Structure 1
Amino acid sequence: MHTPRLTVCFDNYPGEPGLRTLWGFAAVLDLPGQKILFDTGSNGRILLENMDRLGQRPEDLDMLFLSHPHWDHIGGLDSVLELNPRLQVVVHEGFSKHLLRDLEEMCAQLTVIGRDVTPLAPGVFSTGLFDSDPPEHALILDTGDVTALITGCAHPGIDTLVGAAAQRLGRPVRWAIGGFHLMYSDEAKIQQTLRALRDLGVTDVVPTHCTGDAARAAFQEAYGPHCHDGGVGQVIEIA
């Protein structure tokens, strides 16, 4: 069985030497027969440069999943579509109607997610749209062997997203990956979130992007070797 692999291609946290860091997040999810780009960071030139150094070709992508319409997650959109207009682009109803109309002309297939959990590919789902500020959805991975949730910024709350995904799957989500949006949270909120994820059955975390230094340190202390470094260039085997 091919282990799902996540390669962080854009992050404000450094990882591998020789890669550029800017504010934002993007990662390539490699699955059997499916290659998904999750978000595009804030700058297309830097995204493509990092992807090239990591051996990830935009032309090989099958799907582009955009979590929410903030600039630091959609900044590389044009650069990717220019090189691969054959993509399926997955967005949600909270994106600008003007952008949705333009995207229909720029990609092979535009999928606009509403409020329901939506299958996208074998073992890949959208959580459905959450009424956060801004509205956001996250990606659920269920290979049978492994369950994971990948989030851009977790504006609805990382525990809320994980809980909703677990309810949909009927079993715990073991991995929580991405920006947990705790950078402005106090210690009490960070510990509350940690406990909630533990109670939900999360065994492995990859807290990065907007998680914040204090929360990352707290997750490292709580999860030990099961807290995996994010940062640009990190390759995570989701096993």
Structure 2
Amino acid sequence: MSRRRIGFWYRFAAVICKPPLVVLIKRDWRGMEHIPAEGGFITAVNHNSHIDPFAYAHYQYNTGRVPRFLAKSGLFKKGFVGAAMRGTGQIPVYRESTDALSAFRAAIDAVERGECVAFYPEGTLTRDPNGWPMTGKTGAARVALQTRCPVVPIAQWGCNELLPPYAKKPDLLPRKTHHVLAGPPVDLSRFYGQEMTADVLREATEVIMAAVTGLLEEIRGEKAPATPYDPRRERIDQRRRTQAQAVEERQAQTVQEGDGGK
């Protein structure tokens, strides 16, 4: 399949966004040879700063294969924002769909048209205390197994030093470097033909996230934790800690009331 032209809206966005990015961030960009020249594919990218979608888009824009990001379908109906989202070819996610595959039908269609669909598999900014990728959601694996398209893992680091996760003010000086490293497509062939059960999707997602994490280890020159940070597990553990603390407080209060009655 041929690739779609970049188009007016994407070029217009580049004219607005590229100058400040060039001024604010130095670039260490590698692995562009792994971005397919033709045909549909997926990129799986780690997320550690509110700025990194723009910096990553700049990286891939320079390859000639612009990324189409996923966004809530409601944004595509809102005035100028909706026009820009549609014009730049961003991908609506239909969260109101009754089944998971339908939620990503526009992403599947985009890949089959020869587009690049960019996934942030973590679904949000990493909550790992040291900025490592968390466990991933299964959307990228679902689209990849449905279309059998290449999945290119991409790691990035540096925008988090300019604007750390959840920080309100950037740290402009000294000038930070945006490191990007793309790797060869992840081999998911062993999952082809299997029913897309929760276990299969989770295992395929783990393969994708391991590739992204490995690239980030190369960028940072250090090893990631053996077990990725899991927000759901952390919520469960926090709930258990809260419940245990509440029990201890009730027991302590009961003891105090018993002592007071003597």
Q: Is the TM value for this pair above 0.5?
A: no
Give the alignment's TM-score, normalised by structure 2.
Answer: 0.30
Higher relative contact order (CA 8 A, sep 6+): 2
User: Hey, which of these two has a bigger chunk of helix by percent?
Assistant: 2
Q: Considering fraction of residues, name the structure with more strand.
A: 1
